[in-house]
Chain A
Amino acid sequence: MKDLSLHIMDIIQNSVRAEASNVELEIREDLEKDIYSISIKDDGCGMSEEVLSRVLDPFFTTRTTRKVGLGLSLLKQSAEQTGGKLEIYSKEGVGTELQVLFSHKNIDRPVIGDIAGVMVLLVSANPNMDFVYKHHTAKGEYIFDTKEIKEVLEDVSVTDPNIMQYLKELINENLNTII
């Protein structure tokens, strides 16, 4: 994966497959403590203890189309390369939470990349799901909440290409003020 936004997109696809209706992504940047943390929480079907214990194994997947499942392993490796870690909690029928820690200053920490584009693609590809994206830095915080967006848009769909462009701008403009 080229950057963190692609990892995030990949991991959130798991929430989509777990039939979650709400997904919350939170990114915290703390330069003083040298922390770059990403947490992703969903209310999908969750995992059994047996699946959870194997989920970080790159040769384990619940898919039938192939024999490997690299998404979580790649993200874990990426975090560990910076001295960070990845932890995952899940309860069947309740949901799953993923917490990833990176060293903010480490040269191996991938950049965030086009997170606005990723969020907009996720929102438009899953119009029936709700997403919250919170980004905190020392300069402030920005919260992108699709429930608010859908209220503003009323009967206009988030899948419209013009609306997608506006949403991308909205996220980028606000992130630019805090990153």
Chain B
Amino acid sequence: MAKVKSLADLKRMKEELQSKMDLREKSNDPEGLVQIKVAMATCGIASGAKEVMEFLIEETAKRGIRTVVTQTGCMGYCYAEPTIEVQIPGKEPIVFGDVDIKKADQIVEKYIKNGELVDGIIPVNYKTLD
């Protein structure tokens, strides 16, 4: 496939995409989707949150899982970065720590697809020191 080099190319690709009806109306019903927040403050970025976020966006789309992947600030778990918060519709959000690409893959396959918990959950009662 030819690479996108100009705005005209982008327009062509967009039209091609629209004709395939591949576009999902995400914004209409974010509540019904799996919501993933990636902590993207200095601590997260320095630990590799960018790669994790790119992986989650690309892979959940490829695997046909409807998600909204967004960024959030520092949740105070700097020691466990990169951290992500996953909320499956109708369930409480869960924060996972030390998420590299391998862990992100596990979270997608086990937790998001099957509801099976995986290692690395940060308990909700964990608070930062004052």
Contact = CB atoms under 8 A, between A and B. Distances in A.
A170 B6 CA distance: 6
Interface residues of B, number: 38
B17 A156 contact: yes
A34 interface: no
Contacts of B76: 65-66
Interface residues of A, number: 40
Nearest to A127: B27
B41 to A, nearest CB: 6
Contacts of A69: 42
B45 A153 contact: no
B14 A153 contact: yes
Interface in B72-122: 73-76, 78
Nearest to B78: A66
Nearest to B67: A161
A152 B14 contact: yes
7 contacts: A117-B50, A156-B14, A162-B17, A163-B14, A166-B13, A170-B4, A173-B4
